[in-house]
Chains A and B, each alone.
Chain A
Amino acid sequence: MQGQRRVIASVDAAAGRLDLGCGMTVTHAQSLIPDLCVIDATPEDDEAALIRLALWCIKYSPLVTPNPPDGIFIDVAGSAHLFQGEAALIGNLCRRLLAEGITAKAALADTAGSAWALARYGDAQIVSPGRASEAIASLPVASLRLSSATVTSLSEVGIERVAQLASKPRGSLRKRFGAEALLRLDQALGNANEALPSLVPPEVPRAELRFAEPVADPEDLKRIIGKLCDKLCLDLEARGIGARRLDLVFLRVDNIAQAARIGLSRPYREPRHLAKLLAERLVVIDPGFGIETASLTASWVEAVVERQTIGRHVGIDGSQHDVSQLIDTLGVRLGENNVFRLAPVESLLPERVTRRVPALHPAEGLEWPKNLPRPARLFLHPEKIEAVAELPDHPPRLFIWRNARHRVAKADGPERIHGEWWLSDKETALIRDYYRVETADGTRYWLFRDGPTEEGGGWWLHGVGEA
């Protein structure tokens, strides 16, 4: 309601196609579309729903701020590594939202202001660091989160685009349009800090420390982490749960939050282990002029199955515990996806016979077929070689690889490998004849020919070192 008039607050996609828009009066709209379905707006419910959605977004980062009526800020600086980078994170977020039936636009930039602008008015989804000013230059000034009155008065003097606004002298802008326009411009360009109070999820284990004096020394930060972990683990212990994900948030004196997030391979509540992992992520924290408040949240918890302590000499059961700590440490340091096991896949093609599984994936006991001799090193891309064979089905007599001539002394083959024809048409035509060859000095190679020479087939070297 605006005064006495009923105004459209929001339209769905179908109504949008019929040229209905926000701000139109309901009577006007109904005169255009007689059987229009009108539902009363419930701003309170919308805001509650936005906060619920924001809480869900904590899965992507500990720093989430709902921005009513329709936005959510997510600071992914400390957690993008858990999703293999920013692009993958955005993709995952959009896919998940779409699956829930939520139409969302996402943009990622250096500052909350420019991301807000790009999500609503821009095309670019991810703006690389330092390029925010270029990316928003051509957007309308409304993209700076200005009030409609300011936008109107700016357009009266012909300022339509962000670039125009940025090029005007600051003094006169302030006099004429007030501090808001300048502040929003500076926030979007990163010249002014913007404090975003992040959402604190209720009912999750959380430990907090406040300091009388700001803290910035890395050694002190480590001690703080240790204390937070002790506090949090007591809470976890009492609830009988362990943390699968930890969010460390430092609030700086300038009200900017710095966050680090770690994922764990199994639920933990050992303070020393957790503190060690968090300390590894301290590199992403910029303490600035000091830190006033530190909090540690276990944003994903699971029940801990108590294990009987077994001496480590007893065998695998006892050592499992140690190994999972090692996997976490390496995962935090190198990236979770870089610590893995390789499990067999039933496939004909050598490059497809392994798949990565998480390092703590339960042992399946599967193995590859025992009777197939395979090289110890398989080239990611088979290397083209020149080879001479006496007869079409015979192994080569000699081959030239990397400008060196290798005379074949003994050979075995061919072992014919077909493409997996059920996957695609291209695979149907794929046939490789593999040969194991031994050169005069005893070195063994794994070669294949992808078709008879007269049909354009060539020789390739696929691996070395034979089991």
Chain B
Amino acid sequence: MACASPMSTIAEMRLYLERIDRHGREQGAVLPFGVEAIDRHLPQGGLPQGRLHEAIEGGAASQYAGLATLFTAGILARMQGPVLWCLRGRDLFAPALARVGLHPDRVIFCETWKDRDVLPAMEEGLKCGGLAGVVGEVSRLSLNASRRLQLCAGESGVTALVIRRWRNTTEREAASEPNAAATRWRIAPFPSPASGFDGLPRQQWQLDLLRVRGGEPHSWVLEACDATGHLALPAALAERSVAAGETRRAATG
């Protein structure tokens, strides 16, 4: 038979595509946050590994992306294996990574000064199957660059995490451009509840899920990562109905 009827060929191809799609989805491991409110909201019940995820920081000190750094380190702290961290400057303070559970022995840093060095270094790391994750601090992430990262991550199963940095408003605006990341998060500081005694309680974050493939944007107020990289619902909110702490956001990602 030279050729089946066009309809059956198309149907076959559909099936094939579906199989590829399902294959990709089933194969990837998923890393739950351990916070029921977040995991329930994510289509896969957690952060799919072997994908590209993006963290942007909001708030007054957003250009330093300190909270985005801790959020990212917290994710990696809950994984096994070495981590490649592609720096774009010298302001990262390593003891803070250890405080959220990312041990210094696990992190290999590579220091660059430009996006065009960070992205190839990330790709190189993502091709190396022995890593748990690759972190890159970048200011611009084009659709093409993000697809390349996504592709490399998908092949090796290494999770790619991008922390967006900026030095000026143009770069800051560029951070909201669309790209191929599987999830995009925004971490902003949130005023901590008044404490009776002198001192500061654990910091609170407003965590916005700006974009997720196959899911809805959402927003939570959470307590910052603890010494094992776990986020937590604030005690006051956990007692109340969960819905009260969650505010639905319009899709901005």
> CB within 8 Å of B: which residues of A?
312, 315-316, 318-323, 325-327, 329-330, 333-334, 338-344, 350, 353-354, 359, 363-368, 370, 372-380, 404, 406, 409-412, 436, 438-445, 463-467
B104 near A342: Cβ-Cβ < 8 Å: yes
Which 5 pairs of residues, A with B, have the shortest CB-CB distance? A465-B66, A319-B130, A322-B130, A442-B189, A363-B105
B121 near A467: Cβ-Cβ < 8 Å: no
Contact of B69 among A342, A376, A379 (CB under 8 A): A376
Interface-located stretch among B6-14, B39-47, B95-103:
B95-103
A410-B192, A443-B60, A465-B61 known; A359 vs B96 contact (CB < 8 Å):
no
A323 near B131: Cβ-Cβ < 8 Å: yes
B191 near A442: Cβ-Cβ < 8 Å: yes
B103 to chain A, nearest CB (A): 7
Q: A377-B92, A410-B194 are in contact. List 20 more A-B contacts (CB 8 A).
A: A319-B131, A323-B82, A323-B108, A325-B128, A326-B131, A338-B110, A342-B104, A342-B107, A343-B104, A370-B227, A373-B99, A373-B200, A374-B93, A375-B66, A376-B66, A380-B90, A441-B189, A442-B188, A444-B189, A466-B96
A361 to chain B, nearest CB (A): 9
- A404: chain B residues within 8 A (beta carbon): 60
- A436: chain B residues within 8 A (beta carbon): 200
Could you tell me how many residues of chain B have their Cβ less than 8 Å away from some Cβ of chain A?
58
> CB within 8 Å of A: which residues of B?
59-61, 64-67, 69-70, 73, 80-82, 84, 90-100, 103-105, 107-112, 117, 120-121, 124-125, 128-131, 188-192, 194-195, 198-200, 203-204, 224-225, 227
- A467: chain B residues within 8 A (beta carbon): 70, 95-96, 99-100, 224-225
Question: Could you write out 27 A-B pairs with CB less than 8 Å apart?
Answer: A323-B128, A334-B121, A338-B111, A339-B109, A340-B109, A341-B104, A341-B109, A342-B104, A344-B95, A359-B108, A368-B94, A372-B95, A375-B96, A376-B69, A376-B73, A377-B66, A438-B189, A441-B60, A441-B191, A442-B189, A442-B192, A442-B204, A443-B59, A443-B60, A466-B224, A467-B96, A467-B225
A350 near B93: Cβ-Cβ < 8 Å: yes
B203 near A374: Cβ-Cβ < 8 Å: no
B103 near A367: Cβ-Cβ < 8 Å: yes
A393 to chain B, nearest CB (A): 12
Contact of B94 among A338, A354, A363, A412 (CB under 8 A): A354
B61 near A334: Cβ-Cβ < 8 Å: no
A464 to chain B, nearest CB (A): 4
A359 to chain B, nearest CB (A): 5
A379-B91, A443-B61 known; A326 vs B99 contact (CB < 8 Å):
no
- A445: chain B residues within 8 A (beta carbon): 61
Contact of B65 among A323, A327, A465 (CB under 8 A): A465
- B204: chain A residues within 8 A (beta carbon): 442
A378-B93, A438-B200 known; A341 vs B130 contact (CB < 8 Å):
no
A439 to B190, CA, bound (A): 10
A366 to B105, CA, bound (A): 8
Nearest B residue to A404 by beta-carbon distance? B60
A443 to B104, CA, bound (A): 26
A377 to B66, CA, bound (A): 6
Nearest B residue to A444 by beta-carbon distance? B203
A315-B80, A465-B61 known; A410 vs B200 contact (CB < 8 Å):
yes
A466 near B66: Cβ-Cβ < 8 Å: yes
B120 to chain A, nearest CB (A): 8
A338 near B112: Cβ-Cβ < 8 Å: yes
A365 near B129: Cβ-Cβ < 8 Å: no
- B225: chain A residues within 8 A (beta carbon): 467
Contact of B104 among A322, A344, A439, A441 (CB under 8 A): A344
A339-B108, A467-B70 known; A377 vs B84 contact (CB < 8 Å):
no
Nearest A residue to B127 by beta-carbon distance? A326
B200 near A334: Cβ-Cβ < 8 Å: no
A245 to B105, CA, bound (A): 26
- B107: chain A residues within 8 A (beta carbon): 341-342
A426 to B117, CA, bound (A): 39
A442 near B93: Cβ-Cβ < 8 Å: no
B129 near A322: Cβ-Cβ < 8 Å: yes
A372 to B195, CA, bound (A): 19
Nearest B residue to A327 by beta-carbon distance? B108
A334 to B224, CA, bound (A): 34
B156 to chain A, nearest CB (A): 10
Nearest B residue to A466 by beta-carbon distance? B203
Contact of A376 among B67, B81, B82, B192 (CB under 8 A): B67
